Amino acid sequence: MKRFIEYLVEGALKISGSITSITILLIIIFLFKEGSGLFKNPVVEEGYVLTVNRDNPVEHITSFQIKEIYDENITNWKELGGIDSPILVFRFGDLENYFSPEELGQEYENIPQCLNTLINREKNIIAFFPELYLPKDFSGKQIAKEKISPVDFFGGKEWYPTAQPAAQFGLIPLLLGTLWVSIGAILLALPFGISVAIYMAELASKQMRSILKPLIELLAGIPSVVFGFFGLVIIVPLVQKTFNLPVGETALSGSIVLAIMALPTIITVAEDALKNTPRAMKEASLALGATQWQTIYKVVIPYSISGITSAIVLGVGRAIGETMAVLMVTGNAAIIPHTLLEPVRTIPATIAAELGEAPSGGAHYQALFALGAILFLITLILSISVEYISNKKNK
Amino acid sequence: MAPQLMQESVGSRKRLTQKIAFILFRFFSLSIVAILFAILFFIIKNGIGVINWDFLSKAPQEGMTSGGIFPAIVGTLCLVIGSCLFSFPIGIMSGIYMNEYAKNGKLISFIRIMTNNLSGVPSVVFGLFGMSLFVNFLGFGDSIIAGSLTLGLMSLPLVIRTTEEALKSIDNSFREGSLALGATQLETIRKVILPMALPNIITGLILSIGRVSGETAPILFTAVAYFLPQLPTSIFDQVMALPYHLYVISTSGTDIEASRGMAYGTALVLIFIVLILNLIANMIRKHFTDKNKI
Boundary-marking domain end, from A99, A129, A146: A146
d(CA A332, CA A348): 11
* Dihedral-angle region of residue B141 (phi above 0 means left; psi in -120 to 50 means alpha; beta otherwise): left
User: What is the tally of structural domains in chain A?
Assistant: 2
Terminal Cα-to-Cα distance of chain A (whole angstroms): 45
d(CA A281, CA A298): 11
pLDDT given at position A265? 92
| A192 chain-B contacts, CB cut-off 8 A | 28, 31-32
**Same-domain check for residues A251 and A353:** yes
Helix spans in chain B (H): 3-9, 12-47, 53-57, 70-96, 105-120, 123-130, 144-168, 172-180, 185-188, 194-214, 217-220, 242-251, 260-293
Whether A247 contacts chain B with CB within 8 A: no
- Give pLDDT tens digits for A186-233: 999 999 999 999 999 988 888 888 889 889 989 999 999 999 999 999
User: Is B29 inside any structural domain?
Assistant: no
Q: Which residues contact A284 (CB under 8 A, 6 or more apart)?
A: none
Q: Which residues contact A354 (CB under 8 A, 6 or more apart)?
A: A161, A364, A368
User: Is A251 inside any structural domain?
Assistant: yes
Look at B128 and A372 and tell me if their CB atoms are within 8 Å.
yes
The answer to whether B222 and B131 have CB atoms below 8 angstroms apart is yes
| B22 chain-A contacts, CB cut-off 8 A | 203, 293
Q: Which residues contact B288 (CB under 8 A, 6 or more apart)?
A: B199, B200
> What ipTM was predicted for this assembly?
0.89
* Dihedral-angle region of residue A159 (phi above 0 means left; psi in -120 to 50 means alpha; beta otherwise): beta
**pLDDT by residue, tens only, chain B of 294 residues:** 455 555 455 567 778 888 898 999 999 999 999 999 999 999 999 999 888 888 888 888 777 677 888 999 999 999 999 999 999 999 999 999 988 888 777 888 888 889 989 999 999 999 999 999 999 999 998 999 999 999 999 999 999 999 999 999 888 899 999 999 988 888 899 888 998 999 889 998 998 999 899 999 999 999 888 888 778 888 898 999 999 999 988 887 666 777 888 899 999 999 999 999 999 988 888 887 776 654
Half-sphere exposure at residue B228, Cβ-oriented, CA atoms within 13 angstroms = 22
Task: List the 304-333 stretch of A: residues with Cβ below 8 A of B.
Answer: 314, 317, 320-324, 327-328
pLDDT given at position A395? 53
Q: What is the CATH number of the domain that holds A99?
A: 3.40.190.10
d(CA A149, CA A383): 29
| B137 chain-A contacts, CB cut-off 8 A | 30
Q: What does residue B68 show for φ and ψ, rounded to 5 degrees?
A: -135, -160
**Same-domain check for residues A257 and A334:** yes
pLDDT at A108 over 70: yes
User: Is B210 inside any structural domain?
Assistant: yes
User: Is A370 inside any structural domain?
Assistant: yes
Among A379, A371, A343, A370, smallest CA distance to A243 is for A343
Average pLDDT, chain A: 88
d(CA A358, CA A341): 29
Look at A383 and B120 and tell me if their CB atoms are within 8 Å.
yes
Domain that holds residue B180: 73-293
User: Is B289 inside any structural domain?
Assistant: yes
Pairing of strands B60-61, B66-67: antiparallel
Name the packing angle between helices B242-251 and B70-96 (round to 10°): 130
For every residue of A146-193, DSSP letters joined together read SBPPHHHHHH---EETT-SSS-EE-SHHHHHHHHHHHHHHHHHHHHHH
- Give pLDDT tens digits for A258-314: 999 999 999 999 999 999 889 999 999 999 988 888 899 899 999 999 889 999 999
Mean pLDDT for the stretch of residues A27-40: 92
Whether A356 contacts chain B with CB within 8 A: yes
d(CA A261, CA A317): 12
Collapsed DSSP state (helix, strand, coil) of residue B49: coil
Boundary-marking domain end, from A128, A146, A164: A146
The residue type of A358 is: A
**Same-domain check for residues A359 and A260:** yes
User: What is the distance in angstroms between the Cα of B7 and the nearest Cα belonging to chain A?
Assistant: 7
**Same-domain check for residues A201 and A350:** yes
Q: Which residues contact A222 (CB under 8 A, 6 or more apart)?
A: B39, B214, B271, B274
User: Is A4 inside any structural domain?
Assistant: no
Domain that holds residue A97: 48-146
**Same-domain check for residues A142 and A283:** no
Name the packing angle between helices B260-293 and B12-47 (round to 10°): 120
**Same-domain check for residues A190 and A142:** no
The answer to whether B128 and A26 have CB atoms below 8 angstroms apart is no
d(CA B108, CA B91): 15
d(CA B51, CA A133): 60
Boundary-marking domain end, from A112, A146, A180: A146
User: Is A53 inside any structural domain?
Assistant: yes
Give the confidence band of A174 by pLDDT, cuts at 50, 70, 90. very high
**Same-domain check for residues A326 and A192:** yes
Assessment of whether the complete model's pTM goes beyond 0.95: no
Look at B127 and A352 and tell me if their CB atoms are within 8 Å.
yes
Q: What is the CATH number of the domain that holds B89?
A: 1.10.3720.10
Triad A133, A137, A139: Cα angle to 5°: 95
The answer to whether A115 and A135 have CB atoms below 8 angstroms apart is yes
User: Is A359 inside any structural domain?
Assistant: yes
Q: Where are the beta strands (DSSP E) in chain A?
A: 48-52, 88-91, 125-130, 141-143, 159-160, 168-169
User: Is A262 inside any structural domain?
Assistant: yes
Q: For B94, which of A16, A31, A226 is closest by C-beta distance?
A: A16
Q: For A21, which of B114, B263, B267 is closest by C-beta distance?
A: B114
- Give pLDDT tens digits for A324-368: 999 999 887 777 888 888 889 999 999 999 998 888 888 899 999
User: What is the tally of structural domains in chain B?
Assistant: 1
Q: Which residues contact A120 (CB under 8 A, 6 or more apart)?
A: A53, A54, A139, A140
* Dihedral-angle region of residue A337 (phi above 0 means left; psi in -120 to 50 means alpha; beta otherwise): beta
The answer to whether A259 and A353 have CB atoms below 8 angstroms apart is no
User: Is B204 inside any structural domain?
Assistant: yes
User: Is A19 inside any structural domain?
Assistant: no
Say how many C-beta atoms besides its own lie within 10 A of residue B269's C-beta: 22
Half-sphere exposure at residue A145, Cβ-oriented, CA atoms within 13 angstroms = 7
d(CA B50, CA B45): 10
Among B241, B207, B269, B277, smallest CA distance to B78 is for B241
User: Is A354 inside any structural domain?
Assistant: yes
User: Is B40 inside any structural domain?
Assistant: no
Look at B29 and A226 and tell me if their CB atoms are within 8 Å.
no
- Give pLDDT tens digits for A128-172: 888 888 887 787 888 877 888 888 889 888 888 888 788 889 999
Among A139, A52, A124, A144, smallest CA distance to A83 is for A124
**Same-domain check for residues A114 and A259:** no
User: What is the distance in angstroms between the Cα of A311 and the nearest Cα belonging to chain B?
Assistant: 13
The residue type of A60 is: H
Q: What is the CATH number of the domain that holds A324?
A: 1.10.3720.10
For every residue of A197-241, DSSP letters joined together read HHIIIIIS-HHHHHHHHHHHHHHHHS-HHHHHHHIIIIIHHHHHH
A90, A213, B14 from A86: Cα distances, Å:
13, 69, 75
